[in-house]
Amino acid sequence: MSEPLLDVVGVSKQFPGVRALDDVSFTLRPGEVHALVGENGAGKSTLIKVITGVYRPDGGEVRFLGRPAAFNGPLDAQHAGISTIYQEVNLIPLMSVARNLFLGREPRNRLGLVDAGRMHREAAEILAGYGITSDVRRPLGLMALGAQQMVALARAVMVDARVVVMDEPTSSLEPREVETLFGVIHQLHGRGVGIVYVSHRLDELYRICDSVTVLRDGRLVHTGALAELDRVALVSHMLGRPAAEVRRAGFTSFAGSHDAATDRPPVLRAEGLSSRHRLAGVSFAVRPGEVVGLGGLLGAGRSETIKACAGALPLDAGTVEVDGRPLRRPTPVHALRAGIAVQPEDRKAEGLALGLSVRENIALAVLPRLSAAGLVSEKKIDRIVETFMTRLRIKAAGPHQRVGDLSGGNQQKVLLARLLATGPKVLLLDEPTRGIDVGAKAEVQALIDELAAEGLGVVLVSSDAEELIEGSDRVVVLRDGAVVGELRGDQVTTEQLMNTIAVAAS
Amino acid sequence: MTTTALVPAPSLPQRLRGWLPAYGVYVAVVVLALFNIAFTDHFLEWQNLRIQLVQVTPVVIVALGMALVIGTEGIDLSVGSVMALGAALIPLYLGYGMVPAILLALLGGLVIGLVNGGLVAFVGLQPIVATLAMLVAGRGIALVLSSGRYKDIRNQDFLAIGTDAFLGVPYTVWIAAVLAVVVGFVVRRTVFGRRLLAIGDNRPAAELAGVPVRRVLVTVYVIAAVLAAVAGVVQVSRIGSADASRIGLLIELSAITAVVVGGTPLTGGRIRVLGTVAGAFLMQLLTATMIANNLKDSTAQMVQAVIILVAVYAARERRTR
């Protein structure tokens, strides 16, 4: 076997309050695509940060190309040959696409100035290889998130990287872009580059990874060839549950269809929602106890539809009705008052006040109800916070812990607790399980089921087709901001969804 | 399901970092006070303490409003001009009696606050730009109202606010103390206070959580401006004259300093009211110490600069961890 590119030996890392890594070892060989998996809080991100020099390990060492390595941060690691692509795009939105691509190594002319012509030409060539044909002189921020991710990837690969670390690279990519990404990974594999691939999507792992390392609670649970490990065994390593139990429960935790009383009037009705460039007359209805999925590709208008229903997107036309009564004004305040609770796609940017406590975040939307004459009642807040922390099994040091210090899954639960505290009639959930660990994912899915059973109307957006299909009673398929199809009853299958999207796309 | 992480207690430097921005200001005040007790003559005499208290009062009042604005991740540069406006309105309406004059001065502040808040919340201007405009416009209006002249006040009732005392403590100091308690209460115990902090921490999230963001922001700027007008009234009553060209000059900087030194981060989402009051005291004590020990005012300014840098540095340590 060839010399390892990267050898992490018995690394430990301690943070105030958590032991993030405990004697973890990890080996990456040339040309290997190595999956790094585990629930959130398992230590994947910390391990990556130790490898790229963001953190210094408290114990153990990182060896790169056979020599001990201690990088001074990601840039230093990059110069040495370790490139990283993060979950969130780490580029500068106001700079042009080409500028971003070449940042820090711009081609120079004889005067030492940036050779813009050459830079644009080369950038266009390089990006064409990634299926991106838009103008490289435009600011990066104007591109779709998926395209930005591809630019980040191109940038990471351009430097002569020996190791590329990909932290959930597909979380904002469309299927076509995912294919391009896999193509690139294949090329890198051929060139002997080692790839550390972090993802929550099992399909992807089995398609492209050679080996796998599973972390749980900061400890190494399993490492070896992926082909020798079946899915159920992999999931059980991650969850720490016996394989039989995992098999019984299935891959998602949805119970199946709900008996939404079809004769009951809809609790939510959206009529002709239109917003320039984004929505072109979206109409749909949700009955009590029904989960309606919104399907479609990235940019089809799913998140926009959710936002419009929540009053957070300025509308040119269209109405939103709750229980037959239209919203007085389409603002978040009125939507909430009418009984619409929304969980936005990006929980860090739009969902939670990360600097505030679990308690403040849960109570935020219902403060008026927990107060008299403008004075908040700490007792009432405590009661409601306790109720929901218990019900959603939120793992925190206590209600006063900063939300920013929680794991992704628990952050999401805090957000859901806030929604539920408002006593909503309709829940709008935009990617409720994105970027959270398998355990929390199962809990959230079960919760959605439970809430629908209690008679809430739920609108579900998920880029995980399996989740969308298993979780929804009906799926409304969108494309370019308009409804192009609807799947009911027996039609609610992954194949039908793909067909509808494909037909709509042609 | 709960995992209670068993970890050693954080090390001393770590604890110090968390502790310094929160409580450093109190330590500094105590140290400075002890130094003065030891080395400055007559420091502990009531006469001296009274002067210090009276002098710091306008800064404290203005800083309370500033703390609220900074808690929303904003800033209010117009407070000095609002003080001047309040001051300019007093002599114009004292003829109708003390109460109408004061109410009109506060109303003047309220109007400027509405404009500030409207520009920030509805037009979407950046707070620094919106309030900079009002910094310029406010003093202009004040100068026009007072015809650019210095005016002596002869209304004895009004002057009594600045000169008389209750239980030996000047009325103006009582006013500042009561306002500090009220603002502290508002931040801790009211729906408005909670919403304000949520907006400061993450405005889009607050919006989606159904917080009436614009209304809260306008209210915050109105409160800040009215407090500044109160400070203007207090100042006029103390010095017995209204000079729109000088009152409140550069006080926005002193107020921001007090807030920052007191441990309130400029990034919003957290307000330390008591810290703000202590911050104002620290700066006042510093100046007094320098003067008492025959150091120039310019030296005091340089020391102030160092303290501001230390405060901001300490806050930075806490955030990046």
Summarize pLDDT for A244-279 with one digit per residue, the tens. 555 555 556 676 556 555 678 899 999 999 987 788
**Which is more confident, A503 or B191?**
B191
Per-residue model confidence (pLDDT) at position A301: 85
Q: Percent of chain B at pLDDT above 70?
A: 92
Instruction: Give the angle subtended at the CA of A10 by the CAs of A9 and A13, to the nearest 5°.
Output: 120
Per-residue model confidence (pLDDT) at position B45: 85
Look at residue B179 and give its three-state secondary structure: helix
**A193 alpha carbon, distance to own chain's centre:** 26
Give the amino acid at B285: L
Contact B225, B112 (CB under 8 A): yes
From chain B, pick out residues whose CB is under 8 angstroms from the CB of A356.
197-198, 201, 269
**Which is more confident, A107 or B229?**
B229
- Kindly determine whether residue B202 and residue A360, on different chains, have CB atoms separated by under 8 Å: no
Q: What are the tokens at A451? A: 């809430």
Rounded Cα–Cα distance for residues B214 and A87 (Å): 33
Question: How far does A361 lie from chain B, in Å, by closest CA?
Answer: 8
pLDDT in tens, A296-338: 766 678 889 999 999 998 889 999 999 989 988 889 999 999 9
Contact B17, B318 (CB under 8 A): yes
Per-residue model confidence (pLDDT) at position A74: 82
Q: Could you give phi then psi for residue A324, rounded to 5 degrees?
A: 80, -5
Per-residue model confidence (pLDDT) at position A506: 46
Q: Is the pLDDT of residue B79 over 80?
A: yes
Report, as an integer, the average pLDDT of A333-362. 91
B55 touches chain A (CB under 8 A): no
- Kindly determine whether residue A349 and residue B201, on different chains, have CB atoms separated by under 8 Å: no
Per-residue model confidence (pLDDT) at position A504: 57
Cα atoms found within 13 Å of the Cα of residue A186, Cβ hemisphere only: 9
For residue B274, which of B203, B201, B188 has the smallest C-alpha distance? B188
Contact B106, B79 (CB under 8 A): no
A336 touches chain B (CB under 8 A): yes
Highest mean pLDDT (candidates A340-349, B57-66, B288-297): B57-66
Report, as an integer, the average pLDDT of B95-116. 94
Per-residue model confidence (pLDDT) at position B6: 40
Per-residue model confidence (pLDDT) at position A101: 86
For residue A15, which of A506, A407, A279 has the smallest C-alpha distance? A407
**Which is more confident, B14 or B143?**
B143
In this complex, the residue of A368, A376, A393 whose CB is nearest that of residue B189 is A376
Q: Percent of chain B at pLDDT above 90?
A: 57
Give the amino acid at B62: V
From chain B, pick out residues whose CB is under 8 angstroms from the CB of A365.
209-211
CA distances from residue B286 to B12, B26, B60, B296, B308 in whole angstroms, order as listed: 29, 13, 15, 12, 12
B18 touches chain A (CB under 8 A): no
Instruction: Point out which residues pair with A441 in neighbouring strands.
Output: none
Report, as an integer, the average pLDDT of B244-249. 89
pLDDT in tens, A7-48: 999 999 987 656 789 999 999 999 999 999 876 567 888 899
**Which is more confident, A252 or A350?**
A350
Report, as an integer, the average pLDDT of A199-214. 86
Q: How confident is the model at residue B5 (pLDDT cuts 50, 70, 90)?
A: very low
Per-residue model confidence (pLDDT) at position B10: 55
A223 touches chain B (CB under 8 A): no
Question: How far does A410 lie from chain B, in Å, by closest CA?
Answer: 12
Contact B19, B13 (CB under 8 A): no
pLDDT in tens, A110-139: 888 888 888 898 888 888 877 777 788 888
From chain A, pick out residues whose CB is under 8 angstroms from the CB of B210.
332-333, 335-337, 365, 422
From chain B, pick out residues whose CB is under 8 angstroms from the CB of A42.
none
Contact A8, A54 (CB under 8 A): no
CA A147, A434, A362, A423 dihedral sign is: positive
Q: How confident is the model at residue B321 (pLDDT cuts 50, 70, 90)?
A: very low
Highest mean pLDDT (candidates A154-168, A390-404, A472-486, B104-118): B104-118
Nearest C-alpha in A relative to B4: A397
Q: Is the pLDDT of residue B186 over 50?
A: yes
Other Cβ atoms less than 10 A from the Cβ of A67: the count is 8
Contact A24, A219 (CB under 8 A): yes
Q: Percent of chain A at pLDDT above 90?
A: 34
Instruction: Point out which residues pair with A199 in neighbouring strands.
Output: none
Per-residue model confidence (pLDDT) at position B2: 40
From chain B, pick out residues whose CB is under 8 angstroms from the CB of A375.
189-191
In this complex, the residue of B192, B201, B270 whose CB is nearest that of residue A374 is B192
Per-residue model confidence (pLDDT) at position B95: 86
Q: How confident is the model at residue A212 (pLDDT cuts 50, 70, 90)?
A: very high
Rounded Cα–Cα distance for residues A27 and A20 (Å): 19
Q: Is the pLDDT of residue A88 over 70?
A: no
Per-residue model confidence (pLDDT) at position A244: 52
In this complex, the residue of A16, A337, A360 whose CB is nearest that of residue B198 is A360
A33 touches chain B (CB under 8 A): no
The average confidence (pLDDT) of chain B is 88
Question: How far does A224 lie from chain B, in Å, by closest CA?
Answer: 28
B204 touches chain A (CB under 8 A): yes
- Kindly determine whether residue A310 and residue B208, on different chains, have CB atoms separated by under 8 Å: yes
Per-residue model confidence (pLDDT) at position A115: 85
From chain A, pick out residues whose CB is under 8 angstroms from the CB of B10.
16
**Which is more confident, B95 or A284?**
A284
Cβ burial A170-197 (10 Å sphere, 16+ → b, else e): bbbbbeebbebbeebbeebbeeebbbbb
Question: How far does B235 lie from chain A, in Å, by closest CA?
Answer: 32
Per-residue model confidence (pLDDT) at position B18: 67
Contact A327, A298 (CB under 8 A): no
Rounded Cα–Cα distance for residues B98 and B111 (Å): 20
Report, as an integer, the average pLDDT of B280-306. 85
A249 touches chain B (CB under 8 A): no
Per-residue model confidence (pLDDT) at position B218: 97
- Kindly determine whether residue A350 and residue B5, on different chains, have CB atoms separated by under 8 Å: no
Rounded Cα–Cα distance for residues A310 and A304 (Å): 10
Q: How confident is the model at residue B57 (pLDDT cuts 50, 70, 90)?
A: very high
Rounded Cα–Cα distance for residues B81 and B250 (Å): 9
